Amino acid sequence: MEISLAGKTAMVTGAGGGLGRAITLSLAACGASVWACDIDGKTAAATAQTAGTRCHSQALDVTDRAAVLAAVAEIGTVDILVNNAGGGLGYTHRPIESVSPQEWAAVFDVNSTGALHCTQAVTPGMKAAGGGRIVNISSDAGIRTARNRLVAYGAAKAAVISLTRHLAEELGPWGITVNSVAPGFINVSARTQRQWLAYGEEGQKALLESIHLRRLGSADDVARAVLFFASDLAGWVTGQVLSVNGGRS
Ligand SMILES: NC(=O)c1ccc[n+]([C@@H]2O[C@H](COP(=O)([O-])OP(=O)(O)OC[C@H]3O[C@@H](n4cnc5c(N)ncnc54)[C@H](O)[C@@H]3O)[C@@H](O)[C@H]2O)c1
């Protein structure tokens, strides 16, 4: 069975980054018109250019509610929203006493509140259209603990999972599904490469041995899971969190 998203408009946040780019390319390959959005307009444009003529880009900071509402007003009805923008913003683990309110707020803003803003912006159109798909990128860190022990990040991703479940219940009567993909560690960027190298040989071996399939995943592994939730194949699936992590106990 082929997945066809022809005629659908998708919006992907954080589309200039490693996973966002793969997600945008796979949605576009299935026929969707994709708006690649990122706080970094240049990387968003590069993704859109690679994804093809049906794709557009938009410089968009998901933490700026007014900007998100304005962007969606320009896009029109969004059939598929992928809330992918996020990350640890370069913060590293420190004892809990020294985690600043600014760090906590910034990490929550991009990972959780940004997803809320985008959802609030697209739901009127989805309700009027009689359906829609929302896919939130959470993380293993929100289910277990963050490998880099960044507590604000793990807590913000746990909030994304809770947001997913609550929105699935609230928006189900309008035919809108809300699901989450929770990736394990995926080495897709200069940042993740630094993280991988920082583990050292022993740490890398231990990480691989903690994965049932004994290999790291790819951005495409994550994109395929997003595609499933975005497609008709998942028409009666909502409120679910799919771990894409190669298996972990
Ligand atoms: N790579 C992994 O190992 C991994 C694992 C689990 C979850 N995730 C999650 O997947 C998502 C994508 O991660 P990635 O590895 O591709 O990271 P990345 O850093 O390569 O991409 C993140 C993108 O988000 C953009 N961004 C940051 N702040 C933004 C904002 N305020 N508004 C809009 N865009 C913003 C960045 O410019 C960047 O292009 C993130 O939510 C991340 O937490 C990643």
Q: E-assigned strands of the chain?
A: 9-13, 33-38, 56-59, 80-83, 132-137, 176-183, 241-244
Which of 12, 13, 19 has most ligand 1 atoms within 8 Å of CB, for mutation?
19
| CATH entry, 9-244, from 3.40.50.720, 3.40.720.10, 3.90.550.10, 2.40.50.100 | 3.40.50.720
pLDDT exceeding 90 applies to what percent of the chain?
Answer: 98
5-63: pLDDT as tens digits? 999 999 999 999 999 999 999 999 999 999 999 999 999 999 999 999 999 999 999 99
φ/ψ of 33, rounded to 5, equals -85, 120
Tell me: pLDDT of 89 over 90.
yes
> From the alpha carbon of 61, which atom of ligand 1 is closest?
32
Please say whether the beta carbons of 177 and 134 come within 8 A. Answer: yes
CA geometry: angle at 20 spanning 135 and 41, to 5°?
Answer: 120
In the chain, the amino acid numbered 171 is L
pTM over 0.85: yes
197-227: pLDDT as tens digits? 999 999 999 999 999 999 999 999 999 999 9
Q: Is 246 in the pocket of ligand 1 (CB under 6 A)?
A: no
Distance 152 CA to ligand 1 centre (A): 15
> From the alpha carbon of 191, which atom of ligand 1 is closest?
19
Alpha-carbon distance 50 to 40, whole Å?
16
Tell me: pLDDT of 237 over 80.
yes
Q: Pick the catalytic residue: 35, 91, 108, 153?
A: 153
Alpha-carbon distance 155 to 7, whole Å?
36
Alpha-carbon distance 22 to 19, whole Å?
5
φ/ψ of 178, rounded to 5, equals -135, 115
Which two tokens mark 223? 């994109």
To the query of whether residue 199 is one of the catalytic residues in this protein, the response is no
